[in-house]
Amino acid sequence: MTLRLLGRCPSCNINDEIIEPKHSPEQYRQHLDDKVVYCTVCKTSWDNWLELTSFEREKGNRLIPVEVGRIGNLQVNLHFQSPEEIPFRHLVISMLNSALIANYNLEVVFCTEGGIRKGGPGGYELRNMDSQLGLYTHWDVESSADRIEHNARFALNFYERMMRQLFEEPLSFGNVSFRRGEILWLDEAHEEDRTNAMIYLFGTLVNVGNRRFAEHVLKTMDEVTGNPFSALYIRGLSAEEINGLFVPPKM
């Protein structure tokens, strides 16, 4: 896991090259609270990336912190960005979860946070996280915790690959190229950016699989989101949707 600030370096104007220093496993714990970052191109360093992003924001230079984290076979999530801060988040969540459905023959979980599941012996559930974009392993199924984690790890491994490609790695396929975390720079107010989001997500699927797999995921997502009920649950319900579905109207 490495924190990266997406955006223009204040010193050399190169995009997406400000990262935190890497530490050996022996040094990791003593540097847990460090906020030091540096540019891999010009080598300029800053003592506190929080102060750096705040200062640069005031100057009109947006720096976006990203880091895909993982806790064993329990969860994979994107740090520092809440779901509400991610453009086209419903599309992103639906596409990522549809990829798992297509790749591992899963189905939608019908719970308020939404997600995907594998039924039967050795089944597991991966539910959407509330405060961050990510999935966590839910244990309320008829299997032991160890068995659930063991079976869920393959889906989480693939989900982590997709998340890293989507937010941390540069992307190119065919004659199309994108910067790291391109989707975080899009604007839902612009209709052309929805097209760009679809192209970026499609390219992510091509890179973690191939074009045939990407097309299969799109078909799967069309089937899931074509059903108004499963379309809600694959991405999770908003507070307003929960109220509309489960809270009786006042008389």
Long-range contact set of residues 172-181: C-beta below 8 Å, sequence gap at least 24 = 172/203, 173/203, 173/206, 173/207, 176/203, 178/203, 179/6, 179/15, 179/16, 180/4, 180/6, 180/16, 181/6, 181/16, 181/64, 181/66
Q: Using an 8 Å Cβ cutoff, are 147 and 160 in contact?
A: no
Which amino acid type is present at position 196? Answer: N
The answer to whether residues 77 and 132 touch, using CB atoms and an 8 Å cutoff, is yes
117-135 tens-digit pLDDT: 998 877 899 999 988 999 9
pLDDT band at 149 (very low <50, low <70, confident <90, very high): confident
Note the pLDDT tens digit of each residue in 1-48. 689 999 999 999 999 999 998 755 555 455 455 789 999 999 999 999
Which residue ranges make up each domain of the chain? 4-62, 70-246
* Six-digit token string for 190: 């612009």
| Cα 29 → chain centroid | 26
For the stretch 81-116, pLDDT in tens is: 988 999 999 999 999 999 999 999 999 999 899 999
Query: Could you tell me which residue, 195 or 249, shows the higher pLDDT?
Result: 195
Q: Note the pLDDT of residue 182.
A: 96
Mean per-residue pLDDT of the chain? 89
Give the global pTM. Answer: 0.90
CA distance 106 to 132: 22
The model's confidence at residue 248, banded by pLDDT at 50, 70 and 90, is low
Per-residue confidence (pLDDT) for residue 239, from 0 to 100? 67
Q: Which of 72-76, 146-150, 160-164 has the highest mean pLDDT?
A: 160-164
Mean pLDDT within 217-244 = 87
**What CA–CA distances, in Å, run from 55 to 49, 60, 82, 109, 174?**
10, 9, 21, 42, 38
